Structure 1
């Protein structure tokens, strides 16, 4: 189970006592996390998720709290931080920053269809529209600079087609750093995978895990989502799902000509980002029990597939 910091019941009872939620009924660690420790917490006052933040800069957490509040006010179903009796939303537990958030309804979709993908695209456009003209901002600690540095290191260990793809992307990153492509920017979820979205039937009932949220190109966020939601069982993009997700997004925030030009490279960049993070995690946690390490080769294969892109962005006529 991916709980890096275990909790004893007495420790959690003391923590919950600071809230107006009644007594602790039950709790359990959540399997599947790769970065933070998460627990389902049942209290007399409702169902919640407790997160102990294991990675990243604690100074960025006020941004997270403010972002979730902004999205909740915009009508998006998100797990806002619950305040304790003194009005505090950020806490400490077992030496880790801690957030208690409502547990949203719905479940994860393992095999999405086009309607799920359309809903994800629409939700993502709403996120970008809600944050693009606000003062909310946070640098992406795994952004272009990080990817460029890490890709150079990994390139020394690779050969063949993957090495060629990495070299091409490095050249693209250098070009974008020298000459900004002029893509629209907002706050990104930056991790909108299937396990971070909840559906009640075909209704998108909530989005969770904003710990990677940061400022960046909206198109990059779209590419991250497409690279997960639109993959078929064979690991290739399903054109019908891609078109549905892009149409759901474009109905609320039309794509620009500059975005259409950058789309193929952005799909590759999104695959690179998660190949790098998984590869680094696989090396760091090799041989350690109880830590979920996701397969980095999944995104290595996707990166190579993206050298040819069949579905472009829809543009308004």
Structure 2
């Protein structure tokens, strides 16, 4: 179970009292997390999620709280931070930053269809449109500079064929660095995987886990999303699912020629980001009872993205 910080009932009850949401009925650790400790909380007045933030500086959390407030105000289904009776949103529990949020309805989708992909594309476009005019700056700690810095040291632990793939992608990032950063920007979810989206029937009912949210090129967010939602079991892109997601997004925010040109590159960059971070996590948590996602999944996707046959829809 990926609960890094276990909680006792008495300390949880003391933490929850200032919210005025009634008696604690039950709580349960959530096994799906790979970076933070999350708990389902059942109180007399409803169902909630408590997150203890395990990674990243506390000073970054007001950014996430403010971003979620903006998205909630824009009527997007997100788990905004609840305030105590004294107006506090960010608090501390077990010496960790802690947030209490409403539990959104719905379930995760394991096998996505074209309708799911279109719903996700629309949601992502709404996120970008809601924030590009009032973007909150936050540099990601898993960005281009991080990849260029971490990649060479990780190459020492890889097989020859993997090293060639890694070095080629790092060279591409170096060559396109300035052009990528010059692409149209907004706030990004930056981790819009299937396990961070909820569906209630065919309706997208919630998006969770904004702890990797940042500011940056909107196309990068789209590439991260499509690499997960539109990939076949072998890592190749499903053309029909990809077109559904891209068309739904483009109907709300048309693409620019620069984005169309850099699209294959951004798909590869997005693969590299998760290949590297999963390699690091696999080494850091080896032998521990923590959910570790398979680095090989994104190495395989990166190899397959050397040729991209799904272009962006017509760019203005």
- Which category describes the TM-score, using the shorter chain as reference length? over 0.9
Task: Tell me if the contact between 1:113 and 1:241 (Cα under 8 Å) persists in the aligned partners.
Answer: yes
Task: Tell me if the contact between 2:181 and 2:217 (Cα under 8 Å) persists in the aligned partners.
Answer: no
Task: Tell me if the contact between 1:107 and 1:199 (Cα under 8 Å) persists in the aligned partners.
Answer: yes
Task: Tell me if the contact between 1:77 and 1:205 (Cα under 8 Å) persists in the aligned partners.
Answer: yes
> d(CA) in 2 for partners of 1:22 and 1:229?
39
TM-score (norm: length of structure 2):
0.97
Runs of 4+ more than 6 Å apart? none
The aligned counterpart of 1:314 is 313
**CA 1:108/1:165 → structure 2, altered by over 3 Å: closer, same or farther?**
same
Compute the RMSD of aligned alpha carbons: 1.2
> d(CA) in 2 for partners of 1:19 and 1:120?
32
Are 2:200 and 1:194 equivalent residues in the alignment?
no
The aligned counterpart of 1:291 is 290
1:177: how far off?
3.2
**CA displacement 1:70-106 (0-9 Å, x = unmatched):** 0011110100000001000000000000000000011
**CA displacement 1:110-152 (0-9 Å, x = unmatched):** 1110000001001001100111110411111111110111111
Question: What secondary structure, in the 3-state scheme, does the structure 2 residue paired with 1:219 have?
Answer: helix
**CA 1:135/1:238 → structure 2, altered by over 3 Å: closer, same or farther?**
closer
1:20: how far off?
1.1
> d(CA) in 2 for partners of 1:181 and 1:258?
11
**CA displacement 1:189-214 (0-9 Å, x = unmatched):** 00000000000111101100000000
> d(CA) in 2 for partners of 1:135 and 1:229?
26
- Pick which of 168-177 and 67-76 moved more: 168-177
**CA 1:278/1:120 → structure 2, altered by over 3 Å: closer, same or farther?**
same
1:178: how far off?
4.8
Task: Tell me if the contact between 2:2 and 2:33 (Cα under 8 Å) persists in the aligned partners.
Answer: yes
The aligned counterpart of 2:212 is 212
- Pick which of 126-135 and 210-219 moved more: 126-135
Gaps of 5+ in 2: none
Task: Tell me if the contact between 2:135 and 2:187 (Cα under 8 Å) persists in the aligned partners.
Answer: no
The aligned counterpart of 1:4 is 4
TM-score (norm: length of structure 1):
0.97
Task: Tell me if the contact between 2:257 and 2:315 (Cα under 8 Å) persists in the aligned partners.
Answer: no
> d(CA) in 2 for partners of 1:186 and 1:180?
13
The aligned counterpart of 2:170 is 170
The aligned counterpart of 1:55 is 55
> d(CA) in 2 for partners of 1:258 and 1:174?
17
The aligned counterpart of 2:112 is 112
Are 2:55 and 1:67 equivalent residues in the alignment?
no
Task: Tell me if the contact between 1:108 and 1:194 (Cα under 8 Å) persists in the aligned partners.
Answer: yes
Task: Tell me if the contact between 1:226 and 1:245 (Cα under 8 Å) persists in the aligned partners.
Answer: yes
1:154: how far off?
1.6
The aligned counterpart of 1:245 is 245
How many pairs align?
316
1:270: how far off?
0.4
The aligned counterpart of 2:223 is 223
**CA displacement 1:8-45 (0-9 Å, x = unmatched):** 11111111111110010100000111100000000001
